Amino acid sequence: MRRSLMTLILAAAMPVAAIAQDAGGQAAGSQAAGGPGAKPALYTADQANAGAAVYAQSCAACHGSQLEGVAAPALKGPAFGDMANAQSLTADALLDVIVNTMPQSDPGSLKPEEFAAVTAYILQQNNYPAGTVALTKDEPGLKDAKITP
């Protein structure tokens, strides 16, 4: 008796669970494959490689060669994650901060593609996957991409 009741409850609950899962998938529409919570692909590998050179040249002196933070805050790891969380930082806002205020010694001194590349590098260092579309200011999805370490 108990068993058949359980079966009945399970049978009734299953379609509901399936519907809930569908809705979740749609809400995550602009995210890359891998489901909600997975980090989206926002830049190309070439771009991140170019960004590594920009970083070494223009950022490492203050932020550390491993982005670990020296005179300036870390740009990866738990401290960076806390800052990103506190600001609800998105990839779009990260690019804006860098374009508008960095390098702190000479803001605006890099070309737009160098700013995009160094942002791509920071994403790569925070375990965002590379994709097929280069990071640009107008890239769809940049505004929705929350930064997490």
Asked if residue 134 binds ligand HEC (CB under 6 A), the reply is: no
Assigned token pair, 89:
């930082």
Residue type, 103: P
Residue type, 14: M
Asked if residue 56 binds ligand HEC (CB under 6 A), the reply is: no
Rounded to a whole number of angstroms, the minimum distance from the CB of residue 130 to ligand HEC is 18
Alpha helix locations (H) across 28-145?
45-58, 60-63, 77-86, 91-101, 112-125
By beta-carbon proximity to ligand HEC, the closer residue of 105 and 132 is 105
Asked if residue 123 binds ligand HEC (CB under 6 A), the reply is: no
Calpha distance 34→18 (Å, rounded): 18
Q: What track of x and - describes contact with ligand HEC for positions 73 through 112 (by CB under 6 A)?
A: x-x-------x----------x--xx---xxxx-------
By beta-carbon proximity to ligand HEC, the closer residue of 41 and 123 is 123
Phi first, then psi: give them for residue 121, nearest 5 degrees: -60, -40
Asked if residue 62 binds ligand HEC (CB under 6 A), the reply is: yes
By beta-carbon proximity to ligand HEC, the closer residue of 28 and 77 is 77
SS (H, E, C) 57-68: HHCHHHHCCCCC
Calpha distance 72→130 (Å, rounded): 26
Rounded to a whole number of angstroms, the minimum distance from the CB of residue 121 to ligand HEC is 8
Assigned token pair, 80:
């960076």
By beta-carbon proximity to ligand HEC, the closer residue of 28 and 90 is 90
What is the binding site for ligand HEC (CB under 6 A)?
Answer: 58-59, 61-63, 72-73, 75, 83, 94, 97-98, 102-105, 118
